[in-house]
Amino acid sequence: MIKVGIIGFGKMGKVRAEALESVGGGEVTAVYDINKAAVPDKYRFASDAEEIFSDASIDAVFICTPNYLNRPLAIQGLSSGKHVFCEKPPAFNASGVEEVMAAEKKSGKKLMYGFNHRHHSSIMHIKSLIDSSEYGKILWMRGRYGKSVDDKFFENWRSKKELAGGGILLDQGIHMLDLFMYLGGGIDEVKAYVSNLYWKLDIEDNVFAIFKNSRTGMVASLHSTMTQWRHLFALEVFLEKGYMVLNGLKTQSGTYGEEILSIARNRTTAPAATWEDEERITYQVDMSWRHEIEYFFRAIREDTPISIGNSQDALNLMKVIGEVYKQEGQE
């Protein structure tokens, strides 16, 4: 059994604990949260994070805290000899990730980041089709990811730059950008517009960005927003010989609708591909949380490298995000 300590038992701490218990092979040994009442009696309550880090019986630590704590707690966990699973974002900037990587290298322990969308069955299927080269190389991608918030958002730590590090880009857009890089390779050119026209906070409520992989020529466009009055997730991947369009995302709240993947081959002569030509797959169950835990546990047991959601992925991602913010003078 892999014995786990969880730091932070809000929404994500609970999600990770439930997934861990459903997978088996792991056990929640202790939990720390600033709100003791949030931690169920079935878990041993730790008085602080240090109690978890200093517990020799704990093999791995899950960090599920507000963004500003991710970097220092990941460093502390690795330095105490624990494997670390940390929610996104990994830090507020690329230099912060490099600090974590130094601690990771010194510790020799596993470090994985919670880029959960990679583990959705639809994304895994898209990735396998791309890797097979059956549809040729990627020409372009387009991603839209948005949600609606209300005045209660002002009471949340996510609305405060010193705690969140940024706005909707670090909250949701980071997932879509991560998918662009996961599916399409590196990004080395960035053009972006960042705004906060509606909520007028010191964090962005909209980002419009264009990314390019100059080696392959692939271009991807992103709209990340929290003025999408109806929650939306849409990812389009167009290749030389066909396309894959994912609309909706299976979540616990159900606010993003059904997770439906449409796949079709292109036609270079008339008539063009039609709706009837598409293969449609509807994913009824979200297995992503389980897949993530299983992957992390397997890497620990078999001492294999973290190749999905590793620190290098995190560094590359934060470098691109830094370029987005830099263009609007927000870095």
- Provide the domain count of the chain: 2
Same domain as 91, residue 74: yes
Average pLDDT over every residue of 256-285: 84
H or E stretch including 182?
A: helix 174-184
- 331 pLDDT more than 50: no
Name the pLDDT band for 327 (thresholds 50, 70, 90).
Answer: confident
With pLDDT > 70 as the criterion, what percentage of the chain qualifies? 96
Range of the domain at 19: 2-115
Q: Quick check: is 319 in a domain?
A: no
Residue 25 Cα distances to 53, 114, 196, 246, angstroms: 21, 19, 45, 33
pLDDT of 253 reads: 82
Same domain as 127, residue 103: no
Residue 198 Cα distances to 46, 50, 164, 167, angstroms: 41, 41, 19, 13
Same domain as 189, residue 76: no
Token pair for 95:
């230099």
- 267 pLDDT more than 80: no
Same domain as 189, residue 257: yes
Of the CA atoms within 13 Å of residue 286, those in its CB half-sphere come to: 18
Q: Quick check: is 298 in a domain?
A: no
Q: Give yes or no for a contact between 236 and 143, defined as CB atoms under 8 angstroms apart.
A: yes
- 221 pLDDT more than 90: yes
Q: Quick check: is 330 in a domain?
A: no
Handedness of CA 159, 163, 168, 171 (dihedral sign): negative
pLDDT of 266 reads: 83
174-184 vs 121-132: helix crossing angle, rounded to 10: 30
Name the pLDDT band for 330 (thresholds 50, 70, 90).
Answer: low
Q: Quick check: is 310 in a domain?
A: no
Same domain as 165, residue 43: no
Average pLDDT over every residue of 65-84: 98
Same domain as 143, residue 99: no
Q: Give yes or no for a contact between 14 and 31, defined as CB atoms under 8 angstroms apart.
A: no
Same domain as 169, residue 259: yes
Q: Is the peptide bond prior to 72 cis by the omega test (within 30 degrees of 0)?
A: no
Same domain as 245, residue 150: yes
Q: What is the pTM of this model?
A: 0.95
Q: What is the CATH number of the domain that holds 24?
A: 3.40.50.720
Domain end call among 72, 93, 115: 115
Same domain as 13, residue 93: yes
Same domain as 222, residue 200: yes
